[in-house]
Amino acid sequence: MRTGRPYPLGAAYDGRGTNFALFSAVAERVDLVLVDPDGTERTVTLPEVDGFVWHGYVPDTGPGQRYGFRVHGPWEPASGHRCDASAFLLDPYARAVHQQSAADAGFAQGLCGVVVDPAFDWEGDESPRHSYTDSVIYEAHVRGLTRTHPGVPEKLRGTYAGLASEAVLEHLTSLKVTAVELMPVHQFVQDGFLLDRGLSNYWGYNTIGFFAPHDAYAATGTLGQQVDEFKGMVKALHAAGLEVILDVVYNHTAEGNEKGPVLSFRGIDNASYYRLSDEDFSRYYDTTGTGNSLLMRHPNVLQLIMDSLRYWVTECHVDGFRFDLAATLARQFHEVDRLSAFFDLIQQDPVISRVKLIAEPWDVGAGGYQVGNFPPLWSEWNGKYRDSVRDLWCSREHSLPEFAARLTGSADLYQHDRRRPRASVNFITAHDGFTLRDLVSYDAKHNDANGENNEDGESNNRSWNCGVEGPTDAPAVRALRSRQQRNFLATLMLSQGIPMLSHGDELGRTQSGNNNAYCQDNELAWVDWQFGEEESALLDFTRRLGELRTAHPVLRRRRFFEGETRRATGERPADLVWMLPDGTQMTAKDWRWPDAHALAVFLNGDAITEPDPLGNPVVDDSFLLLFNCYWEDLEFRLPDATFGACWTTRVDTALPTGEPEELDEKEHKAETTLPVTSRSLIVLSRPPLRGPEGERSPA
């Protein structure tokens, strides 16, 4: 054992040996435990400490070597210290984790760090670097997306390699998505109470290793092979033009509250890593609902998070992050603080400030709902968008005014500090809650399979079952449910901001009414790739929506609409006009009517003020969106020729394919009437009235 170096933290292999470094401000001695293939332990004491970093260098130790630490120090829970020299502790900076059976007596909880070789042949890999404005995100679970896919070799199903398979890549690219947002792939552990029920932690929001790809998602091995397999997946996704965004859980760890296990952080330096109760240092201050929260004002916790983020970008080539319960990360003390050290570090970092940053802008603490309040660098999961669109298509009173704000990018939430529509990540469904099919099939959650007496999960889902709870053979109900799914998908893809699809919604995935399938690693939560005619039609419809959005910049503007401001300058028509079904423009009184459930929206492709990336003017088709959220058919009168002389139907959600088959059903002249089926949406377009240089086109 040589003295080694205090940096980098973790296990760093240099081709001749490995340097080990561990932070602990409370340790009195740190033992490095090397684990041989047969389970035999070799213990050596780290010989040096600098700035609370204990370190040593072991020659002739390299990739595949399993290891852990034993930390000697105070066991004084009342003072916040929980050192236990008998506990085998996982390195917080482990680049790979080998997870033994929890019953293996050799290791506490069966977690070993693994020394890895960082070398990898990227073959010139580059990020697609899609702009926020052009982005379409697909939220996916590595295992759930691939576990039953017939086009994925059986041995690769449920793995990183399976996600990188040609069949999965073809599906993703056919949807015109630009990024895959992976549910947690950091190393996580199982919950004992779930194992006792015969269940497991499926979602993975129970992190223990912030630098290690989860070993159970690897087909090639768990002694470092998982790192190369993960990198290979990223490389394949990039080659297909897809970015990789990781859902990261830096707000808490898997060690839970004071009754939880000692796996890593708690036994290394409990008081440095965790927020403790002001009244009782033996207990934890929890704003996450998981039992603990990381101490976001401690420099070594902030270093851990920033080092982890940089590692995934620089070493693993990921393109961005979605931060789970991000409000907790901004709590240096009790309040959510936009001036917190965490935001400052992100803003100043030359690596992390240049990737995509998405916040889940809430937690369970006081004042935790922070939609619209994150700094300008960030985008946010817009929970208000989700709720508003659900209310609209359920025909709830007073839903129209807020929906109008959400459809156009939520300027009321983001424009005040000069943020743009890309700040809003729009979604109808996500992993947490009903799937899209269940949203239109159930009024209430059905979570009995979770073993919690149906008390878990959200009770207020803003859902509507279309008249029957759960599965039905009634043709009218099934047709309405299919139409409602098309309505939600079309609204999502027509909204300003960044749309996010939840995996399987394009296939009509159901969880049988379970809106909290966090523990269901089985057919209930996996994407079912054996689908029928209805599901196939929905998939084709979703693909057409992706193509439509990709082709038309007016549907994905970089800046907010100006609306009445443009009209005041004398330019007509404005870039955005709201109309009643009779073709007249809406007034303030119309917006206040509680039972208003229909409107037409004019999007002017001739009035896009922002240039393209090369500085050229942007001219596009103009669109007329006809929303009928009433329970009966309506006739819409098209506006006068000022807005367009002739309109073409691009999408009709009343039709299974979304498109009329006959040409004479597609063409509509100004000031004529157009029937719109109850609870449906029609999208019309007409070509530009001026060319790229501003001249009026012959049409």
Going by C-beta distance under 8 Å and a sequence separation of 6 or more, which residues neighbour residue 631? 395, 678, 679
> What tokens appear for 505 in the block?
């919604």
Angle in degrees, CA 643, 644, 649, rounded to 5 = 115
Task: List the structure tokens of 489.
Answer: 């998908």
User: Tokens in use for 194?
Assistant: 């779930």
Q: What is d(CA 434, CA 440) in angstroms, rounded to the nearest whole number? A: 9
Q: Is 619 within 8 Å of 588 (Cβ atoms)?
A: no
Q: Give the orientation angle of helix 383-393 with respect to helix 475-494, to 10 degrees.
A: 140
Concatenated DSSP letters of 97-129: EEE--TT-TTSGGGEEEE--------TT-----
Choose the catalytic residue: 91, 258, 286, 360.
360
The Cα–Cα gap between 71 and 86 comes to 8
Nearest to 607 by CA among 593, 621, 626, 625: 621
Give the dihedral sign, CA 113/119/125/131.
Answer: positive
Helix (H/G/I), strand (E/B), else coil: 11:
strand
324 is catalytic: yes
> Active site includes 590?
no
Cα 96 from Cα 249, distance rounded (Å): 17
CA dihedral 451→454→459→464, nearest 10 degrees, is 110
Give DSSP secondary structure letters for 266-324.
Answer: HHHHHHHHB-B-SS-TTSB--SSSSS--B-TTSHHHHHHHHHHHHHHHHTT---EEEET
Three-state SS at 512: coil
3-state secondary structure (DSSP) of residue 663: helix
Of residues 434, 338, 423, the one with CA closest to residue 384: 423
* Amino acid at position 609, single letter: T
**How far is the C-alpha of 230 from the C-alpha of 236, rounded, in Å?**
10
Read off φ and ψ for residue 514, nearest 5 degrees.
-80, 120
| Cα(506)–Cα(678) distance, integer angstroms | 22
Q: Say which DSSP state 613 is in.
A: T
- Choosing from 91, 229, 324, 438, the catalytic residue is 324
Q: Write the CA distances from 351 to 116, 354, 481, 522, integer angstroms.
A: 23, 6, 45, 38
**336, exposed or middle or buried, with CB in 10 Å at 0-12, 13-18, 19+?**
buried
- Other C-beta atoms closer than 10 Å to the C-beta of 665 total 12
What's the Cα-to-Cα distance from 570 to each of 611, 622, 642, 697, rounded to whole Å? 21, 19, 14, 21
CA within 13 Å, CB half, 341: 13
Give the C-alpha separation, 334 to 285, whole Å.
10
SS3 of residue 345 by DSSP: helix
Encoded tokens for 385: 């968008």
Cβ count near 534 (within 10 Å): 17
Instruction: Report whether 461 contacts 481 (CB < 8 A).
Output: no
DSSP bridge partners of 623: 603, 685
Tokens 């098309």, located at residue: 486
Cβ atoms within 10 Å of 552's Cβ, excluding its own: 18
Catalytic residues: 324, 360
